Amino acid sequence: MAVSDERISARRRRRAGGQRGGLPAGTSRTAGYFFVAIYVVLLLALGVAPAVYAIALALSTSGGVGVSHFVDTFNFFEFLPAFEHIAEFEGIWLASQTVFVVLLALMVHTLKRRVSTAFRLIFYLPGAMAGSASAIIWLFMFTPSGSPFAFILHGLHYQVLSNTVQPSNLPIVFAIMAFFTGAGGWIVIMYGALNNIPDELIEAAEIDGSSALQTAVRIKIPLIRKWIVYMLVLSFAAGSQLFVEPQILGVATNGQVPAQWSPNQLAYYLAFQQDSFNNAAAVSVDLLVIGLLVAVLLVWRGRLFEVE
């Protein structure tokens, strides 16, 4: 009995040693659990448990288990518009962010290092204003009296804030706010990715007579493609959760921006104004599924995160 046990553990040890990333002899088998313990507890309590609990709440009906909360919330007259708002916002934001971030990163990359550092700093500093700060700043920027951009707003015949933030403008308004705080970080990242392209590659192309534009389109952009995809996917996931900007604008315009403009606002409204945790859970499960799908897709199909 003792002999066979020993043989099994010897085999296990060999197998472990044979794996890629195998460990040197003398490593404890159980130490790993010890190191990840706190994190696993947090993961279960604050990642898995809330998700499971939200699903359970969304599925529990007066008659047992069912999808009636999903059906009910779907039939709310604010439900589809909220998702339409988000779709329109994401379309405008993602398209403009992709074009401008790539363009600016390429342009900054052609500058002398010291000059480009100054540009990158200006582009990414607004990131410090993420959240309610950016929403408040743009509240002022969008108010025709006193805004540094007043000449544009007056050109559009806007006289007061409520003209600028009229319902049809809101997706663009939020796209501008999101671009203001988010684009700089991505420009810095794209710039870093461009720096990782070997100089010889660019020089060879130039010797072959490639113009700056050709080099950018044929060599640089394909080589930073995975970062562009990464930016698109992460931004899409984050954008679907829009909350703070419409919330702040709603407060500042006395409700001209409705409190159920985005799906997350709708979930909040259901929980706090309607006291319906089950319906709030149903909407947040809808949103959770979107986030989860995007994440799983990126991890499984994208090659960005080579785990081992």
Partner 1 sequence: MLARRYIYRVIGLLVLLLFVAFFGVPLLWLLLAPTKTDYQLAHQAPLAFGSLGTFIHTFNRVINYQGGLMLTWLKNSAIYSGGGTALALLAAIPAGYGLALTQFIGRRTLLAVTLVVMIMPATALVMPLFLEASAVNLVGTAWAVILPFAFFPFGVYLAYIYFSSTIPKDLLAAARIDGAGEWGVFLHVALPLARPIVALVAFFAFVGDWTNYYLPFVMTYTNSEYPVTVGLQILIGSAPIFSPTASGYAGSEIYRPDLAMATLIGALPILIIFLFAQRTLVKGMLAGATKG
Q: Which of residues 243-272 bind partner 1 (CB under 8 A)?
A: 243-244, 247-248, 251-254, 264, 267-268, 271
Number of residues lying near partner 1 (CB under 8 A): 120
Nearest distance, CB of residue 269 and partner 1, angstroms:
11
Nearest distance, CB of residue 285 and partner 1, angstroms:
8
Interacting residues with partner 1 between 269 and 308 (CB under 8 A): 271, 277, 280-281, 283-285, 287-288, 290-292, 294-296, 298-299, 303-308
Distance CA 84, CA 237 (A): 15
Among 23, 71, 80, 156, binds partner 1 (CB under 8 A): 23
Interacting residues with partner 1 between 58 and 97 (CB under 8 A): none
Among 1, 18, 20, 30, binds partner 1 (CB under 8 A): 30
Distance CA 51, CA 285 (A): 8
Scanning 49-57, 62-70, 88-96, 200-208 for contacts with partner 1 by CB under 8 A, the matching segment is: 49-57
Nearest distance, CB of residue 145 and partner 1, angstroms:
6
Interacting residues with partner 1 between 120 and 159 (CB under 8 A): 120-133, 136-141, 145-150
Check binding of 16 to partner 1 (CB under 8 A). yes
Choose between 56 and 71: whose C-beta lies nearer to partner 1: 56
Interacting residues with partner 1 between 193 and 222 (CB under 8 A): 193, 196, 212
Among 1, 2, 31, 207, binds partner 1 (CB under 8 A): 31
The candidate with the shortest Cα–Cα distance to 246, out of 231, 263, 259, 230, is 259
Nearest distance, CB of residue 154 and partner 1, angstroms:
13
Choose between 205 and 294: whose C-beta lies nearer to partner 1: 294
Q: Which residues pair with 65 in a beta bridge?
A: 60
Nearest distance, CB of residue 251 and partner 1, angstroms:
5
Distance CA 236, CA 163 (A): 28
